[in-house]
A and B are shown apart, each in its own frame.
Chain A
Amino acid sequence: MKTEILDSVEQKSLKSKIPHFEIGDTVDVHCKIQEGNKTRTQIFTGTVIARKGRGINESFTVRRIVNDEGVERNFPLHSPFVVDIKPVRSGKTRRAKLYYLRQRSGKSVRLSERRSEHTSA
Chain B
Amino acid sequence: MMILGKKIGMTQVYDNDGRIVPVTVIQAGPCTVMQVKTTETDGYEAVQMGIDNVKKSRQIKSQIGHASKANDVPKKFVREFRFEGSPGEYKQGDKVTVEVLAEAKHVDVVGTSKGKGYAGVMKRHGFGGFPGSHGTERKHRAGGSIGSHASDRGHGGNVKKGKRMSGHMGNVRVTSKNHALVSIDAEKNLLIVKGSVPGPAGGYVMVKESKV
* Residues in chain B near residue A116, CB distance under 8 A: none
Cβ contacts A28-45/B at 8 Å (1 or 0 each): 000010000000000000
Q: Is the CB of B14 within 8 A of A9?
A: no
Q: Is the CB of A9 within 8 A of B192?
A: yes
* Stretch touching chain A among B20-28, B41-49, B123-131, B141-149: B20-28
Q: Which of A9, A79, A81 contacts B11 (CB 8 A)?
A: A9
Q: Which of B13, B188, B190, B201 contacts A13 (CB 8 A)?
A: B13
Cβ contacts A76-112/B at 8 Å (1 or 0 each): 1011110000000000000000000000000000000
A-B pairs under 8 A by CB, number: 44
For the complex, give the distance between the alpha carbons of A6 and B23 in Å: 10
Question: How distant is A3 from chain B, measured CB to nearest CB, in Å?
Answer: 8
Q: Is the CB of A5 within 8 A of B12?
A: no
Q: Which of A2, A57, A81 contacts B12 (CB 8 A)?
A: A57
Which residues of A from 1 to 50 have beta carbons under 8 Å from B? 2-3, 5-6, 8-10, 12-13, 32
* Residues in chain A near residue B9, CB distance under 8 A: 2-3, 5-6
Q: Which residue of A is nearest B16, CB measured?
A: A80
Given A2-B9, A56-B12, A9:B23 Cβ within 8 A: yes
Q: Does B202 contact A (CB under 8 A)?
A: yes
Question: How distant is A85 from chain B, measured CB to nearest CB, in Å?
Answer: 16
Interface size class on chain A is: 10 to 19
Interface size class on chain B is: 10 to 19
* Residues in chain B near residue A2, CB distance under 8 A: 8-9, 201-202
Question: How distant is A83 from chain B, measured CB to nearest CB, in Å?
Answer: 11
Q: Is the CB of A79 within 8 A of B14?
A: yes
Q: Which of B14, B23, B190 contacts A5 (CB 8 A)?
A: B190
For the complex, give the distance between the alpha carbons of A31 and B82 in Å: 51
Question: How distant is B13 from chain A, measured CB to nearest CB, in Å?
Answer: 4
* Residues in chain A near residue B190, CB distance under 8 A: 5, 9
For the complex, give the distance between the alpha carbons of A32 and B20 in Å: 15
List 7 interface pairs A-B (beta carbons < 8 Å), by A numbering.
A2-B201, A5-B9, A8-B185, A9-B185, A9-B190, A13-B14, A56-B13
Chain B interface residues (CB < 8 Å from chain A): 8-9, 11-14, 18, 20, 23, 25, 27, 185, 188, 190, 192, 201-202
Chain A interface residues (CB < 8 Å from chain B): 2-3, 5-6, 8-10, 12-13, 32, 56-57, 76, 78-81
Further pairs besides A5-B9, A6-B11, A9-B190: 19, Cβ < 8 Å: A2-B201, A5-B8, A5-B27, A6-B9, A8-B188, A9-B13, A9-B23, A9-B25, A9-B185, A10-B11, A10-B12, A10-B13, A12-B13, A56-B12, A56-B13, A57-B12, A79-B20, A80-B14, A80-B18
- 6 closest A-B pairs by beta carbon, nearest first, are A80-B18, A13-B13, A13-B14, A6-B11, A5-B8, A81-B18
